[in-house]
Amino acid sequence: MRIVALDDDLVVLDMLSKTMEAEGHACTTHSSGASLIKDMRRETYDLLILDWQLPDTTGPQVVRWIRENVNQELPVLFITSRHGEADIVEGLESGADDFMIKPLRVAELVARVRALLRRAYPAATKGTLEFGRYKFLSDSRALEVDGKLVELKNREYDLALFLFQNMGRLLSRDHLREIIWGQNSDVISRSLDTHVSRLRTLLDLRPENGFIITAVYGVGYRFEAVKPLSEAQPE
């Protein structure tokens, strides 16, 4: 998963980064609200951890901006030295999902992050996943369309499954590259475009079949379910 952390305390940021990376996540850090907001105009993440008091804004203001402008579903964990009931209520009402009081305890931090990610992205790594005409057979890493097996290479399968599991989410190019090729990958952008184009063709992802992949200029891709033309009501 891709985690982004915001805190003006560099020691805390370093701890957050190391803890998340030890959990197998990629972690991007920011020390000001302006820096985070600039980043999130072009990048996508799976979870945000942020402090309340920042040099240029407040945590609740940042969360409100994200909910209104970027992502209404992004899991958010507040970390703060504030512990009054009114503060907790304000943080949660701004759009946060959970709250931790400083000083942070690593084991508790890990447990809370795991719980937030489980709720937001329920894993389905085994068994069968069905999305209309498309059936993912996770145990054999195979995909059927209308009951017929479609031959996909490993990365094509990973990309297709990730897109279906994140339907409706705007996903940045870097996000997709990290998920499919790894955190340290230097795969060029054109390779990602090629894989997306092949999936459109191989899986016949068109509006008339109920799904589309849309390129979002300067950011990445969004995979969406749409009403098939065959189900459209006649005028």
Note the pLDDT tens digit of each residue in 7-49. 999 999 999 999 999 999 999 999 999 999 999 999 999 999 9
Beta strands in 7-154 (DSSP E): 26-30, 47-51, 76-80, 98-101, 128-131, 134-137, 142-145, 148-150
Residues of the chain with CATH 1.10.10.10: 128-231
Is pLDDT of 89 > 60?
A: yes
* Band of pLDDT at residue 183, cut at 50, 70 and 90: low
CATH number assigned to the domain with residue range 2-120, chosen from the 4 options 3.40.50.2300, 3.30.420.40, 3.40.630.10, 3.40.47.10: 3.40.50.2300
Contact present, 88 and 99 (Cβ < 8 Å)? yes
Contact present, 47 and 23 (Cβ < 8 Å)? no
Amino acid 231: pLDDT: 56
Amino acid 85: pLDDT: 75
Peptide bond before 60: cis, by omega within 30 degrees of 0? no
Contact present, 160 and 210 (Cβ < 8 Å)? no
Reading the block at residue 170, the tokens are 């705007």
* Band of pLDDT at residue 209, cut at 50, 70 and 90: confident
Q: What CATH topology corresponds to 128-231? A: Arc Repressor Mutant, subunit A (1.10.10)
Amino acid 104: pLDDT: 93
Q: What average pLDDT is seen over the chain?
A: 87
Amino acid 188: pLDDT: 62
Shortest CA distance to 44 belongs to which of 2, 96, 97?
A: 2
Shortest CA distance to 61 belongs to which of 40, 90, 84, 39?
A: 90
Contact present, 224 and 164 (Cβ < 8 Å)? no
Per the listing, tokens 């560099």 go with 10
Q: Are strands 148-150 and 142-145 parallel, antiparallel or unpaired?
A: antiparallel
Residues of the chain with CATH 3.40.50.2300: 2-120
